[in-house]
Each structure stands twice: as C-alpha cells, then as structure tokens.
Amino acid sequence: MLVMKFGGTSVGDGPRIKNVAGIVLRQRERQPVVVTSAMTGVTDALLRLHSLASTGDEAFREQLEALCQRHRDTAQMIDAATDWSYLEDRLQDLQSDVLRVFDTQDGSLRARDCIASWGEKLAVILVTGAIDSAGGKGGCWDGPMIVTDSHFGEATPRPTKTRELAKNALAEATANDAILVSPGFIGLAEASDDQHEIITTLGRGGSDYSATLIAVALEADACWIYTDVDGVFTADPRIVRKARVLPLISYETAGRLAMCGAKVLHPRSVSPAKRRGIELRVCNTFKPDFPGTLIARASAETHGCPQVVAGRRKLCAVGLQGAGLAEIPNLFGRLCRAIADTGSELVLAAHPVPGHDPQIVIEEGQATVAVEAIAKEFATEITNGQASNTAVTEHLAICTLVGDDLGRLIVEQSQRALASEHVTPLAQSAAADALVFVVPEAALDQVIRRIHQDVIEPALREAAQRGVRPYSNGQWAAGGKAQRRRSTLPQH
Ligand code: ASP
Ligand code: MG
C-alpha cells in the first residue's frame, strides 16, 4: 500500500486537482491511499474567519462567501458535469459552524480547530470528485482519520485508536472498491462520543505528519509526500542558486533538517515512518516522473551523501543577567523549566560552558511570555540583587549543517566559512551529525551561502568525480533539466 499526500499548492485549483487525480490513478496497482491538505491559502482564510466571527466582526460574512465560492468554482473546473450536491451540503455545514462561532463569540482553541478543519474536509470532496471524473473511484472520508488528545491547535495522536479508525475507513473504501481519500491535519479528540465529534488539529503544516501516521496505522509500505519542489535540497534553492536535490538521505538527517527550519517536511513527520521503516519520499506534483528524494535508513550510501544546510529564523535568546548568577543553585534547570512551562519550544540552550550565564533560544513570538516567566521564577534573586534583570537578544537565527557523518574536517571548514564572512556566532554546538550556529538573522543567508559554497559544493563535486550518478550527470537539479534525463533516473 502506498500513502500519497498532497500539499496545499498541489491541490491549489481545479487543474491541479485533476493533475493529482491522474498521479493517483497511475499508482492504482499499488493500492494508493490519498491524504490531502487544504487548498493553498484556505487554512489561513479559515483562521481569519474564526478570528473575525468570534470577535463579532461582520466582515466574516463576505469572506465566508468568497471561500465557499472558491470551492464551488474549483468543483466546476474539475468537472462541470459531476453532481456536486454533497459539496454544497458540506458548505452549508461550514456556514453553520461559523455562524455558531459568531453567535456565541466562541474564541476558544476548540472552536478554532473546528473551523480550521474545513479546509481539508472540503479538499477531500474535491479530490474524490476529480478521481471519479478521471475514470477512477474515490472513497471520500471527509472526517478525521487520526485520534488525538484534546490539545487543540497541536494535538498528540493516539496510535492504537488511530489504527482502529483508519482501518475502518479503509475497510469501507475497499468494500466499495474505491481509493480512500482522507484529510490531513485534522484529528478526532478521544473525548468525543457518538453524538459529539470533537475536532482537533495537529498544528500548522501538520498534513505531512498525518500522512506518516496514517501510513503507520494502515501498515503501508511507502508514503510519498507530494509538494511543489523537486525534493530535499542541499540548501534552500531560493537562497543558494547551486543547491541540488539529494536523491537519498537518512531518516535521521531528514528529521533533523525539518526541526532546524527546512520547510520541506513537518518536524514530527519523519519519526513515525522511521519507526516502521516505511519508504518515505518527497516528490514534486508538477513533475511526477522525477524521483525526488528517498528518505530511508542510514546506510553506507547515506553516509556518503553530501550534507544539507538549513536556516531557522525569527528566534531570540532569553536569559538572566547579574553579578551573582553563579550563586543561584540550579540556575539553568530553573530557567529552562520556567520557559518550558509557558509552552514555548526550547530551540537550543546557548550555554557554552557550565558556569557561563545561560541563554535559551526560543521563537521570537514567545519572548514576552518567557521574560515574564523568568522574572517571576527569579523574583527573589532579583530582589536580593543576585540577578539584575532578564535579557533578550533579538533577531537571531540558527544555521544548521546536517549529514550522517560530519567529521572534524567539515566542522573546521564550516567555522572557517563563518569567519570569512566575519560572522561570530553567539553560540555553536556540534554533534557527530549536526553542527549548529546561532547567528544574527541578518547574516543567515550569507552564512548559508558560504557554507554551501565551501563545504557542500566540494562534496557534490567529489561525489560527481567518484561517478555517483545523480551528481555526475549534473542534472539532479531544480528546474526542467532533470526531466530530460528522466530515462536514466530511477522511476517511481
Ligand atoms: N492546511 C494545514 C496548514 O495550512 C495543514 C497542511 O497544509 O499541512 O497548516
Ligand atoms: Mg507542508
């Protein structure tokens, strides 16, 4: 079985959805299961709608109508002859949900998830219709397929119950001889009962995560993530012109990359696939014959792959200042706990040496709450003068070099690359397979370019000299060139 997940741009309009139906039907013999995101921009629009309606702003009416109309128009573009009455019913349900939020001014996260879930639910209907109209048979499952806890906005899946739900959905589709089409991103709170379905979401960009969760639940052997780029690049090609697509990377490298800011996959999505050894692939919906990037277990081959450099922006460092910090017992632990208790992600501890004043790197948007929490935790120490005040260093980013095997030489080369750009990192940390620099956000692109040029490009050239095919033919790059060589490349 093959789980095929399509991102927002892949289902961005009628022709694109028809393209998706074609891609799915070409894999018919592999027993595909489709997981779809909302059409591009729809989740953002729904979140705006919820915010307007819950604050009593009448402007929601016009936006709601526009959103419904976009789905109706798309349906007509897919196939004007199809009976879209089910879509119309569900648009009515969306409207009732939004009106309820308006009437009760329900600004809760629960209501927000309920509204946000409509993007995926409607996309499922459109994709199913497109599969039908292309001569296949789609099995529309426009409710959640994943059971979660009730942490609205970023729910945690419950694997055992998910397996049950997903298997039921699959059984229903199979009984109808149909290809199961299901929504990404959304979940069913385990607190739901037969009368009340409580919807959750897995967090922004969570469709990738749902795809690998569904692949695990259904014991699929492969999960292909279709997006609008060629695969995993050695760097963001918008920043580095010479960035190349890697044909193969390990689960570990892919997971770390996602955590460190590479947008191509959701940070939590790799781990379920890795646990079960599911073949994970990132491919381009607009070049379906290009093999993209295979993500697999670490092997001699992945160890020999060139590295990848990624950047994560919009960060800051928070910490304490004061002459008596060394006297405060368990300073680091208390600092971390105070920040973690606000729900902020601790991206990195900029804690170069034990005894050094620790600083914690977090997302910029969390700075205010974190500073308040630190001031509260250390109120006594601030009053008695051991600590003077909380400190924030703004506009930071992390630049991370990831690969299965970095080695001393690569660490040195990377440090030299930073020095030659006259960038002094606020902190750095190294592991055998990742090297992280905390740098000013304004210097991030420049650092990424330099590391790519000085560390990754030599590795790409070296791989080419060794005759490693994708590099030696020079065509494993973004853009149309790769297409011309496709007969020499592995096919899906
Ligand atoms: N539609 C959701 C979002 O925009 C989930 C996803 O596309 O992955 O965040
Ligand atoms: Mg995405």
Say what the pTM is. Answer: 0.91
Can you tell me whether residue 430 is helix, strand or coil?
strand
pLDDT at 473 > cutoff 90 = no
Pocket test for ligand 1, best of 185, 199, 226, 285 (most atoms within 8 A of CB): 185
Position 263 scores a pLDDT of 86
Residues 6 or more apart whose CB falls under 8 angstroms from that of 209 comprise 184, 202, 203, 266, 268, 269, 272
Give the number of the atom of ligand 1 that is nearest the alpha carbon of residue 44. Answer: 4
Q: Whose CA is nearest to atom 5 of ligand 1?
A: 205
Higher pLDDT, 177 or 356: 177
Least confident of 101-115, 156-170, 426-440: 426-440
Least confident of 23-27, 92-96, 144-148, 246-250: 246-250
Position 358 scores a pLDDT of 87
DSSP lists the bridge partners of residue 210 as none
pLDDT in tens, 67-104: 999 999 999 999 999 999 999 999 999 999 999 999 99
Q: How far is the CA of 7 from the centre of ligand 2 (A)?
A: 6
Q: Is 117 in the pocket of ligand 1 (CB under 6 A)?
A: no
Q: Are strands 389-402 and 427-431 parallel, antiparallel or unpaired?
A: unpaired
Q: How far is the CA of 206 from the centre of ligand 2 (A)?
A: 7
pLDDT more than 70, % of the chain: 94
Q: In the structure, what pLDDT confidence band is assigned to residue 162 with cuts at 50, 70 and 90?
A: very high
Give the number of the atom of ligand 1 that is nearest the alpha carbon of residue 37. Answer: 7
Closest-CA residue to 350 (of 324, 365, 332, 366): 332
Q: In the structure, what pLDDT confidence band is assigned to residue 466 with cuts at 50, 70 and 90?
A: confident
pLDDT at 468 > cutoff 80 = no
Give the mean pLDDT of 402-415: 90
- The token pair that represents 330 in the structure block: 């368990």
Phi and psi, residue 55, nearest 5°: -105, 15
Position 486 scores a pLDDT of 36
Mean pLDDT taken over the chain = 92
- 290 alpha carbon, distance to own chain's centre: 22
pLDDT at 240 > cutoff 90 = yes
pLDDT at 490 > cutoff 70 = no
Higher pLDDT, 23 or 463: 23
Higher pLDDT, 104 or 480: 104
The CA dihedral of 73, 13, 78, 483, to the nearest 10 degrees, is 160
Q: In the structure, what pLDDT confidence band is assigned to residue 352 with cuts at 50, 70 and 90?
A: low
pLDDT in tens, 191-200: 999 889 999 9
Q: Is 264 in the pocket of ligand 1 (CB under 6 A)?
A: no
Q: How far is the CA of 152 from the centre of ligand 2 (A)?
A: 19
pLDDT in tens, 168-217: 999 999 999 999 999 999 999 999 998 899 999 999 999 999 999 999 99
Q: Which amino acid is at 211?
A: A
Position 250 scores a pLDDT of 95
Position 437 scores a pLDDT of 96
Q: In the structure, what pLDDT confidence band is assigned to residue 471 with cuts at 50, 70 and 90?
A: low
Position 403 scores a pLDDT of 92
Give the mean pLDDT of 403-430: 92
- Helix and strand numbers, DSSP H then E, in the chain: 19, 17
pLDDT at 472 > cutoff 70 = no
